[in-house]
Structure 1
Amino acid sequence: MSGIPPDPALHARLTDWVAAGLLDGSQAERIEAAERTRAAYGTVRAPRSGAPEAADRGRRVSLVVEALGYLGAVMAAIAGFLAVDTLWPGIPAGAQAAFAGAAALALGAAAIPLRGSAEPALVRLRSVLWLASTVSLAACAGVLAGRVGGFSPQVTVLAAAGTATVYAVPLWLRAPLPPQHLAMFAGAAMTLGSAVACLGEDVPLWAPGIAVWLLSAAWGVLAHRDRLPPRGTGHLAAAIGLLSGAQLTLAVPLGHLLALATAGGLVAAGVGLRRVWLLALGAYGTLQTVPQTAERYLPGSLAAPLSVLTVGVILLVLALLLAKWTKWTRWAERPAGPRSGGSARPAG
C-alpha cells in the first residue's frame, strides 16, 4: 500500500479512535487501505469555491497524460508486432521470448516515474502498465517453457501462470488496486489448476476444476473479510473462478450439482448483497448449466427448453424484486426531514 500516500487527517482520526477503544488496529488498517483504493479509483472532487484553478488544471493534465499513455502503449505494441512480423518472418522461439521479456521490462520501467504520485489518473496508468508488464512476463515464460523447452501444455501453463503470480503478488502488496488483484487471482488459479493437472498423465478434468473452485471460494471469503482488498474486485474474481471451476466438473454427475449450486449461490449472493453483476454472473452460470444437465439426463425431451424458460422467469422475478428492494432501501435511508405527501413513499 505504500504506492499511494496516506491521508494524514484520516490516519490521525483512526489513531485517536484506536486509542479510545472504538476500533482495533487491524480494523483501522483495513479502513485506511479501503480509503486509499477509493482515492485511487474514485471520482475527483470539485474544487471548493474560491480555490485556485491550478489544481483543476493539474487534474486535467493528468487525465491527458493517462490517455496518451494508454494510446502510446497500444500503438507501440501494435507497431512492434507488425515490425517483427515484416522484418523477421519465421522468428525463432528464443527471439519471441526475448521480445516479450523486453516488453515486460520496458512496461515496468515506464511505471517507475509514476510510483510516487497520488493523482488518481496517474495511479490508474501505473496500475495498467504493471498489468501489461505482468502479461508480457507470463508470455515470455510460456514461450520459453513451451517452444524453447518443449514441455507439455500443462507444464507450459504452470510456468507462465506461476511466473505471473510471483510477479503480481508484490505489485498488489505495494498497491492493492483492481488490475493487480485480478492479475494475482488469475495467476494463482491457473497455477493451482495446472499444478493439479501435472500430477499425472490421466488426471481427470474435474480435479483441476475442484481445485480452482475451492481456491475461488476461499478467495471470496477472504475478500469479503477485507483480507484481500479491494472487496468488490475480490467478489468478482471469486465469482468468475467459481463458475469456471464448476464448469470443469460437468463430466461427472456430482459436477452438475456443484455447478447448479454455484450458480444458485451467486444469484442468492447478488440478491443479498444487492449486486446486480453478481446476479448477472449467477444467471449466466444457470443458463450454461441447466440446459446441459437437462440434455444429459433427459435427452430428446422438452426438458432443456422448458428449464431455460423456467430459469428465465425466476431470474426476471428476482430482478424485479431486487429493483423494488433497492428503491425501498434508498427511501428508508434518506436523511430525516420534511417529506412531501406525494413523495413520502416510492411508487409501487
Structure 2
Amino acid sequence: MRHSLVQPPADLPALLEHWIAAGVITPEQAARMRADVGPSMPPASPETEHRQASLAIEALGYLGSVLIVVASLLLASEYWDDLSTVGQLIIIGGAAGTLLLAGFAVPERLGRAGTRMHAVLWLGATVATAGLLGLFGDEVLGWYDEDLALFVFVGVTALAAALWWRLPTALQQAAVVAGLAGAAGAAAAEFHAREGQLPGLAIWGVGAIWFVLGWGGIVLPRWTALLLGGFGLMIGSGMTMPGDGGIVVALTTVTALVVLAVLARDLLVLALGAWGALQFLPIAINEWFPGEVAAAIALLVAGGLLVSVAIWIARRRGVTPQTGVVRRDYGVIPAETARVASVAVAVAVTTAIIVLGIT
C-alpha cells in the first residue's frame, strides 16, 4: 500500500495545472505525481479534465486532416494521369470541401482548442481551393501566367476574407494578406512592363497598407498585422531590386521601419527593419560600391547602429521613468489617420504602377 511521506501543499493541484498549461510537465507526469502522493492529493479539477479532453480532440482533428491530405495526394499520384479533368477537380474539390465543412463542424465548447482547429482546417481548405482554382483556370478556361494567377488569387482572397470575418485568427489573416498580395502582384504583371518590379511594387503597397492598418489598431491582433505587413514590405522591396529605383525603395522602407521602431520603442518593428537591412544593404553596397572597403565599413556602421537602437528600445520600452507604470498604448496612431494613410498609399502605388506600366 502506497503512503505519502510528505503532506502535499494545499495548492499543489493548482500548481500541477499551471505546469501542464505552461508545458513544464505532461498530463501523464501530473497523473503520476497525483498517484505518488496518495489519497491526500485532490483529483484534477473539471477545468483540467476539460482541457485534456480538448487537447486530445484537437490532436485527433489534426491527425485526421493530415490523413485526408495524404490520402488525396496518394490517390492523385496513383491515378492522376488516368483521370479526366472532371475527376481531378472532384478530388481536389472534395478535399477542400471536406476541410471546410470539418471546420464548421468543430463545436464551440472546445474553447481555444476548437478555435485552433477551426483555423488550421480552414487554412487547409483555403490552400486546397487555390489548387482547385488553378486546375480549373488552366484546364477548363485555358488561362495561364498572370491571368491564371490573378484568377486564383482573387478567388482565394474572397474565400479567405469570408473565413477571416467568421473566425478572426492570425492564420486566416495571413491567408487574406497572401491572397491580396498575390492578386495585386498578378494585376500589376498584366502590364507586361518592368518584369518583377511592378509586381514587387504592388506587393509592397499591400504590405504598406496592412502595416498602417495594424499600426492604427484597425486590423487586429496588432502584432499579426504588423508582422504580415512587414513581410509584404520586405518581399515587395526585394522584388524591385537590384535596379537603382528598387534599391531606393528598399532602403527607404528599412529606414522608415527603424525610425518608427525608435519613436514607438517597438521591438517587433525594429526586428522587421533589421531583417530588411540584412537583406538589402549588401545588395545596395555591392551595386553602388563594388569591391571597395567602404562596403565593409558601411555594414559595420549599420550593424552597430541597429544593435545600439535595439539596446535602447529594450531598456526603455513600455516603462515610464517617473511612475514605473507599464505603457499599454505605445506608438498607435489614430484610426482615422490610419485609414487616410492607407487610402493615400493605395492611390499612390496604383498611380505609380499605371504610369510605369504604360511608359
Give the TM-score normalised by the residue count of structure 1.
Answer: 0.74
How far 1:146 moved relative to its partner?
3.2
- 1:323 corresponds to 2:314: yes
- 1:268 corresponds to 2:259: yes
- 1:126 corresponds to 2:118: yes
Q: Which residue of 1 aligns with 2:206?
A: 215
Residue number among 62, 81, 99 corresponding to 2:54 in the alignment: 62
- Counterpart residue type for residue 302 of structure 1: V
Q: Map Cα deviations across residues 42-79 of structure 1 (whole Å, 9 max, x no partner).
A: 99xxxxxx999223311221122112212221233123
How far 1:91 moved relative to its partner?
5.7
CA–CA distance in 2 between the matches of 1:333 and 1:325?
A: 12
Structure 1: 4+ residue segments shifted above 6 A: none
CA–CA distance in 1 between the matches of 2:267 and 2:217?
A: 21
* Range 296-305 or range 63-72, more displaced: 296-305
How far 1:122 moved relative to its partner?
0.5
- Counterpart residue type for residue 217 of structure 2: D
**Contact persistence 2:258–2:270 (CA under 8 A):** yes
CA–CA distance in 2 between the matches of 1:274 and 1:107?
A: 41
- Counterpart residue type for residue 309 of structure 1: L
**Contact persistence 1:256–1:293 (CA under 8 A):** yes
Q: Which residue of 2 aligns with 1:4?
A: none
How far 1:289 moved relative to its partner?
1.0
Question: In the TM superposition, what are the counterparts of 1:153-192 in structure 2 within 5 Å?
Answer: 153-192=145-184
- Counterpart residue type for residue 102 of structure 1: G
CA–CA distance in 2 between the matches of 1:75 and 1:222?
A: 38
Change (3 A) 1:118 1:269: farther
Change (3 A) 1:78 1:52: closer
- 1:252 corresponds to 2:252: no
In structure 2, the residue corresponding to 1:192 is in which secondary structure?
helix
Give the TM-score normalised by the residue count of structure 2.
Answer: 0.71
Name the count of aligned residue pairs. Answer: 287
- Counterpart residue type for residue 136 of structure 2: L
- 1:295 corresponds to 2:290: no
Change (3 A) 1:91 1:295: farther
Q: Map Cα deviations across residues 158-189 of structure 1 (whole Å, 9 max, x no partner).
A: 11111110101111112211111111111011
Change (3 A) 1:82 1:275: farther
CA–CA distance in 2 between the matches of 1:310 and 1:95?
A: 60
Residue number among 228, 238, 256 corresponding to 1:237 in the alignment: 228
Q: Which residue of 2 aligns with 1:346?
A: none
Q: Which residue of 1 aligns with 2:25?
A: none
CA–CA distance in 2 between the matches of 1:327 and 1:237?
A: 23
CA–CA distance in 2 between the matches of 1:264 and 1:51?
A: 57
How far 1:133 moved relative to its partner?
0.5
How far 1:88 moved relative to its partner?
4.6
Q: Map Cα deviations across residues 14-52 of structure 1 (whole Å, 9 max, x no partner).
A: xxxxxxxxxxxxxxxxxxxxxxxxxxxx99xxxxxx999
Question: In the TM superposition, what are the counterparts of 1:104-115 in structure 2 within 5 Å?
Answer: 104-114=96-106
Q: Which residue of 2 aligns with 1:5?
A: none
Query: RMSD value over aligned CA atoms?
Result: 2.9
**Contact persistence 2:189–2:198 (CA under 8 A):** yes
In structure 1, the residue corresponding to 2:220 is in which secondary structure?
coil
**Contact persistence 2:265–2:313 (CA under 8 A):** yes
How far 1:328 moved relative to its partner?
5.6
**Contact persistence 1:161–1:187 (CA under 8 A):** yes
Question: In the TM superposition, what are the counterparts of 1:13-24 in structure 2 within 5 Å?
Answer: none
- Larger-Rg structure: 2
Q: Which residue of 2 aligns with 1:224?
A: 215
Change (3 A) 1:68 1:151: same
Change (3 A) 1:109 1:119: same
In structure 1, the residue corresponding to 2:143 is in which secondary structure?
coil
CA–CA distance in 2 between the matches of 1:302 and 1:128?
A: 50
Question: In the TM superposition, what are the counterparts of 1:275-314 in structure 2 within 5 Å?
Answer: 275-314=266-305
